[in-house]
Structure 1
């Protein structure tokens, strides 16, 4: 089942400015950044710590690249702030089905690609006491760590 808090997603208007705030204030550095066209966001993952299951915990900073993206629509109503919480799981498919069987709406019929080649799905906030909840199965952490090391070397 769920093994850790994988990340907390924070919506922001200016990704670079927000990254600088977390770097200057808390010393968090960007571990990974990407543009996710499907989700309509530019994002940065700030690593907080390693976890006992081989994963890690992050802050995920999200800047919408389109007004019609889910994050863009959310920000139009709510402004900047905590957008969602994500729990890590070894098997997003099995766990999302088990949660669906308990009456919680799962927003994607099949998990999709998330940050750092993870597999993700979301649970409806109205079924989770107002909290948009994400389930995440990380890509092979060792493979991602090696790929990130290669990026740093270049």
Structure 2
């Protein structure tokens, strides 16, 4: 069962400048940053609030590090703005299978590792009224990442490699 809005992904040209806008305008602070070489993005998670299910809601700012990344291609076509919405779930495997059974295309056969060690998958935007939709099971809570940057590319977001907003 989907329990919350986990995050809203926002594509941007300049991560540092966009982070500063959200900090100065709304008071949001960076909770976590990382680079995902495989997905071709650098990201910042800005924590908005805690949620009743033990998770949190975030804004995820995504800057492409390569023009040929999904976010890079999306930005070239659409400019800055909302890239996707992510819903939190206690069990991404069960919920993605139930959604697949309803005829919605799930982009990954098996959920993958996402930001902050979460497990994620995406739903095709053509099946979700034009909205690229992500399902997220947050990693068990330990210590907060405190904006530590992971440059290994092993962890990270989440942008599906073969489907972009341009596909809908």
Unpaired runs of at least 5, structure 2: 140-159
CA deviation string 1:72-108 (max 9, x = no partner): 1111110100000000001111110100000000011
Match of residue 34 from structure 2: 34
CA shift for structure 1 position 145: 31
Change over 3 Å in CA distance of 1:75–1:36 after alignment to 2: same
CA deviation string 1:6-62 (max 9, x = no partner): 000000000000000000000000000000122210000000000000000000000
Work out whether residues 48 and 57 of structure 2, in 8 Å CA contact, stay in contact via their aligned partners in 1: yes
Work out whether residues 41 and 63 of structure 1, in 8 Å CA contact, stay in contact via their aligned partners in 2: yes
Instruction: Output the TM-score relative to the length of structure 1.
Output: 0.89
Unpaired runs of at least 5, structure 1: 148-152
Q: Matches of 2:68 and 2:112 in 1, distance apart?
A: 19
Query: What pairs with 1:56-71 in structure 2 (closer than 5 Å)?
Result: 56-71=56-71
CA shift for structure 1 position 143: 32
More helix per residue: 1
Change over 3 Å in CA distance of 1:16–1:48 after alignment to 2: same
Work out whether residues 8 and 59 of structure 2, in 8 Å CA contact, stay in contact via their aligned partners in 1: yes
RMSD: 8.2
CA shift for structure 1 position 146: 35
More relative contact order, 1 or 2 (CA 8 Å, 6+ apart) = 2
Instruction: Output the TM-score relative to the length of structure 2.
Output: 0.82
SS of aligned partner of 1:20: helix
Work out whether residues 116 and 144 of structure 1, in 8 Å CA contact, stay in contact via their aligned partners in 2: no
